[in-house]
Amino acid sequence: LRKGATGKPLTPDITQKKGTDYLKVFINYGSPAGMPNWGTSGDLTPSEVDIMARFVQHDPPTPPEFGMKQMLESRRTFVAVDKRPTKKLNDFSIDNIFVVTLRDAGQIALIDGDTKKIINIVKTGYAVHISRPSHSGRYVYTIGRDAKIDLIDLWLPVPDKVEEIKVGLEARSVETSKFKGYEDKLAIAGAYWPPQFTIMDGDTLNPRKILSTRGMTVDTQEYHPEPRVA
């Protein structure tokens, strides 16, 4: 945990050597490499900056798990399958609709590529990482970094989300089946935490199976508690 990926590790052996005062300045003002200025931006108070500087000098606690029970509790149906249109009910060119991430707002904008006008702004998970079209082109799957997936139906009079589910606490990617005979039958989403991927029904996001990726590394045969699914 907290060993870095794109960014550098924030493990106690490193942070303790830096010291609290150094870390407070770093958190307060940000870095040239791109870390935001959490303090001077007003996102964190001086007290919260101090707490964070001391917190990252301790071993990170293990985050909670997120299994089938939590997924089912998070699932929402806005338009059931039998209530959805059987044909496209709008004049938008589905092949020319742009899906634009409105990162900090936790939304996406559907934009008509022909007119450059906004069709709809849809509330989604936070900082949508991927917007993936279905094989048929009818649906768009979005997944936020908070692991919330939204299924958007482009056949509605005003395209909007019809299903929603959380598949973990942090995630990055979702995809739909495109193999012949299974087009859009299934959807799959990978999570950073817990390290697992979930197979769902493509049109309802009903979770069918969760598979953990925890296990032994192929080189040193050591147990890896956090093999992220990206």
**Crossing angle of helices 46-55 and 20-29, rounded to 10°:** 130
- pTM over cut 0.85: yes
> 12-55: which CATH topology?
Cytochrome Bc1 Complex; Chain D, domain 2 (1.10.760)
Specify the CATH number of the domain 68-215: 2.130.10.10
Q: What is the pLDDT of residues 9-49, one digit of tens each?
A: 999 999 999 999 999 999 999 998 888 999 999 999 999 99
Q: Enumerate the domain spans of the chain.
A: 12-55, 68-215
Q: What is the pLDDT of residues 150-189, one digit of tens each?
A: 999 999 999 999 999 999 999 999 999 999 999 999 999 9
Encoded amino acid at 141, one letter = Y
